[in-house]
């Protein structure tokens, strides 16, 4: 039976990525060697790294003055690298969920990390607005897509300080104005590649302003200077990322991707709103994520949650159980998820209603 993969991460990747990565693992471009067994300093791998970096720049229209890095340690490593490199007196954080809270906790190790607003009062089901930023903060950190609670900030905010964004679960899902950000980072395992690498897009002129000495592996300047090759980078995830980037470019880039993502998300949200058995946990439409769609059973049908999961599983749906802090269901509709899988889930919800 065909599986419809709604996992939140690691998650579905384009067949193109999986097939080409598998080929490269068997033999990289007639070299007689696997991509896993060539030196990261070989011409072949240097080309892979350069192509991946330049495709990110091309797809997101990254302006001059920015660098693209592929670093180990996942997005969680960035929670500490950001303050290590930018925190001087104070930092501002918008707390929109568990990942944002974790980022904030790491910044607090360095001093005053101000939570400028939080949506914790309603289980992170909305994006706070109308908050004030401390004028003396060194940077403002946001989590653009809240993977667990299904909210998303799609506006490229204008703020009077360096803007830092964790885009782990929505990077490359839409066109964006990179010039508004000092740092954009994300773990690869949603829209890009298998886990093991984080992509970092960084404006060089924000660096070198803190007094502390920074261990080499945590210093963005060292990674920039060594073109992301200061130590042995995660070569297979980077090779896979290159395949996904090519797939995205050939599809027409992030504008086309955004159109597809809008359509997919609308199909599912419309069914959740229409079907009397289900309710979306994010009420305000402008806050609803296009990448992680969270919903629960309505009060009258609470006891049918396990039944629906079983029914959906019998129809090939995988990974729709909601995160334990929200309950219910979460369908992750990342770039690689085909529209056909969303339609299959919608159909499953309709059939369950009839049943
Ligand atoms: N930020 C967000 C928004 C995430 O969704 C995740 C992982 N699901 C992380 C950070 C942590 O990423 P990693 O596991 O790569 O450290």
Three state DSSP letters for 271-300 = HHHHCCCEEECCCCHHHECCCEEEEEECHH
Show the CA angle centred on residue 69, arms to residues 67 and 72, nearest 5°.
160
Catalytic sites, residue numbers = 99, 166, 190
Q: In whole numbers, what is the pLDDT of the chain averaged over residues?
A: 97
Confidence check: pLDDT of 208 > 90: yes
Helices 43-60 and 235-251, axial angle in degrees (round to 10): 40
pLDDT attached to residue 181: 98
Of 272, 193, 200, 259, which Cα lies nearest the Cα of 14?
193
Beta carbon of 187 within 6 Å of any ligand 1 atom: yes
Please check whether residue 228 is in contact with residue 69, taking contact to mean a CB–CB distance below 8 angstroms: yes
- C-alpha dist (Å) from residue 43 to 38, 239, 338: 10, 14, 35
* Interval between CA 27 and ligand 1 midpoint (Å): 31
Whether the model pTM is above 0.95:
yes
Please check whether residue 20 is in contact with residue 345, taking contact to mean a CB–CB distance below 8 angstroms: no
Beta carbon of 74 within 6 Å of any ligand 1 atom: yes
Give me the helices (H) in 212-338, please: 220-225, 235-251, 254-274, 305-314
Beta carbon of 234 within 6 Å of any ligand 1 atom: no
Give the DSSP letter of residue 160: S
User: What tokens appear for 186 in the block?
Assistant: 């994300």
Question: Hey, whose CA ends up nearest to atom 10 of ligand 1?
Answer: 75
User: What tokens appear for 178 in the block?
Assistant: 């990179």
Q: Determine the average pLDDT of the residues in 246-271.
A: 98
Beta carbon of 169 within 6 Å of any ligand 1 atom: yes
Beta carbon of 322 within 6 Å of any ligand 1 atom: no
pLDDT attached to residue 222: 98
pLDDT digits (tens, 9 = 90+) for 214-251: 999 999 999 999 999 999 999 999 999 999 999 999 99
pLDDT digits (tens, 9 = 90+) for 166-181: 999 999 999 999 999 9
Strands 4-5 and 151-152: unpaired
Task: Please tell me the CATH code under which domain 15-251 is placed.
Answer: 3.40.640.10
Query: Band of the pLDDT at 100, cuts 50, 70, 90?
Result: very high
Beta carbon of 142 within 6 Å of any ligand 1 atom: no
Beta bridge partners of 1: none
3-state helix, strand, coil in the chain (%, to 5): 40, 20, 40
Confidence check: pLDDT of 1 > 90: no
Confidence check: pLDDT of 191 > 90: yes
Q: Determine the average pLDDT of the residues in 79-96.
A: 98
* Interval between CA 135 and ligand 1 midpoint (Å): 28
Q: Determine the average pLDDT of the residues in 2-23.
A: 97
Give the DSSP letter of residue 320: -
Give the DSSP letter of residue 178: G
Please check whether residue 237 is in contact with residue 244, taking contact to mean a CB–CB distance below 8 angstroms: no
d(CA 2, CA 48): 32
Strands 329-332 and 292-297: antiparallel
d(CA 169, CA 45): 27
Residue indicated by tokens 């990390």: 113
- C-alpha dist (Å) from residue 66 to 52, 57, 151, 326: 15, 9, 28, 37
Query: Band of the pLDDT at 297, cuts 50, 70, 90?
Result: very high
Beta carbon of 9 within 6 Å of any ligand 1 atom: yes
Q: Which fold has domain 8-12+253-354?
A: 3.90.1150
pLDDT attached to residue 122: 96
Strands 317-318 and 4-5: parallel
Site to substitute for ligand 1 among 73, 95, 99, 199, most atoms within 8 A of C-beta: 99
Confidence check: pLDDT of 94 > 90: yes
Confidence check: pLDDT of 2 > 90: no
Which residue ranges make up each domain of the chain? Answer: 8-12+253-354, 15-251
- C-alpha dist (Å) from residue 162 to 103, 109, 153, 158: 16, 20, 17, 10
Site to substitute for ligand 1 among 81, 103, 145, 147, most atoms within 8 A of C-beta: 147
Confidence check: pLDDT of 142 > 90: yes
Strands 66-71 and 329-332: unpaired
Site to substitute for ligand 1 among 11, 72, 76, most atoms within 8 A of C-beta: 76
Confidence check: pLDDT of 75 > 90: yes
* Interval between CA 16 and ligand 1 midpoint (Å): 24
pLDDT attached to residue 220: 98
d(CA 69, CA 66): 10
* Interval between CA 347 and ligand 1 midpoint (Å): 30
pLDDT attached to residue 174: 98
Of 177, 175, 100, which Cα lies nearest the Cα of 140?
100
Ligand 1 atom nearest the C-alpha of 9 is 8
CA dihedral 9, 10, 13, 18 (to 10 degrees): 180
């Amino acid at each position: 039976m065909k599986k419809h993969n709604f996992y939140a991460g690691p998650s579905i990747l384009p067949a193109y990525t999986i097939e080409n990565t598998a080929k490269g693992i068997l033999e990289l471009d007639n070299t007689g060697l696997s991509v896993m067994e060539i030196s990261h300093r070989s011409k072949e791998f240097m080309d892979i790294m350069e192509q991946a970096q330049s495709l990110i720049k091309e797809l997101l229209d990254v302006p001059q003055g920015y660098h693209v890095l592929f670093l180990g340690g996942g997005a969680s490593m960035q929670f500490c690298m950001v303050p290590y490199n930018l925190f001087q007196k104070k930092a501002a954080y918008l707390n929109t969920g568990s990942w944002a809270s974790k980022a904030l906790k790491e910044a607090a190790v360095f001093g005053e990390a101000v939570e400028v607003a939080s949506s914790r009062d309603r289980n992170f089901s909305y994006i706070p607005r109308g908050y004030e930023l401390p004028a003396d903060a060194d940077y403002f950190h946001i989590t653009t897509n809240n993977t667990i609670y299904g909210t998303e900030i799609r506006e490229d905010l204008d703020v009077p300080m360096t803007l830092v964004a964790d885009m782990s679960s929505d990077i490359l899902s839409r066109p964006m104005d990179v010039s508004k950000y000092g740092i954009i980072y994300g773990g690869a395992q949603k829209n890009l590649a298998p886990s093991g690498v984080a992509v970092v897009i960084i404006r060089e002129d924000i660096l070198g302003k803190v007094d502390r000495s920074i261990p080499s592996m945590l210093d963005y300047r060292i990674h920039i200077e060594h073109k992301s090759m200061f130590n042995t980078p995660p070569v297979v995830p980077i090779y896979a990322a290159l395949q996904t980037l090519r797939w995205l470019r050939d599809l027409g880039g992030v504008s086309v991707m955004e159109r597809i993502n809008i359509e997919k998300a609308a199909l599912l949200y419309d069914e959740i709103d229409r079907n009397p058995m289900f309710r979306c946990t994010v009420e305000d439409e402008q806050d609803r994520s296009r990448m992680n769609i969270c919903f629960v059973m309505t009060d009258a049908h609470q006891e049918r949650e396990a039944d629906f999961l079983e029914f959906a599983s019998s129809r090939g749906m995988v990974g729709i159980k909601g995160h334990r802090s929200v309950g219910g269901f979460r369908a992750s509709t990342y770039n690689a998820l085909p529209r056909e899988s969303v339609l299959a889930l919608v159909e499953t919800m309709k059939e369950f209603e009839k049943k």
